[in-house]
Amino acid sequence: MFGAFRASSISQGGLLWKARMKMDLSPTQKANIRKRLKAADDVVKKIHDSGVQCNALTKAMAEPTEAQMPAKDKYTVFSRTFKGYRKSVHKVPHFSKVPIPRTAPAGF
């Protein structure tokens, strides 16, 4: 087959996933995660101080704050499919845009 869709070693192989395989995050990534968690804590605190009451706010207040979270919960998330049931947060699609659960299921 000729043209743009011909089979070649370059088009048939190569590095498929660009995310780093290591579980380590760079210091900048860690700082940005902590900053996002602190910003979310600040919003929850301000809403609570304003006197608003709802179930979502009650659940958010029950979650640990960024300062109370261990590093394991800040930088990793629970995953049934990964070895050790933990995967680095940078493996979560759009991890900087979606809320990361602050606690793992009981026993993990």
Q: What is the DSSP string of 20-32?
A: -SSS---HHHHHH
Residue 74 has a pLDDT of 92
Give yes or no for a contact between 78 and 101, defined as CB atoms under 8 angstroms apart.
yes
Residue 47 has a pLDDT of 96
Strands (E), 1-108: 76-78, 86-88
Residue 23 has a pLDDT of 65
Residue 7 has a pLDDT of 65
pLDDT of 79-88, one tens digit each?
Answer: 999 888 988 8
User: How far apart (Å, rounded) are the C-alpha atoms in residues 26 and 22?
Assistant: 11
Give yes or no for a contact between 102 and 63, defined as CB atoms under 8 angstroms apart.
yes
pTM value is 0.75
User: How far apart (Å, rounded) are the C-alpha atoms in residues 89 and 2?
Assistant: 42
User: How far apart (Å, rounded) are the C-alpha atoms in residues 31 and 26?
Assistant: 9
Give yes or no for a contact between 44 and 56, defined as CB atoms under 8 angstroms apart.
no
Residue stretches of the chain with pLDDT short of 50: none
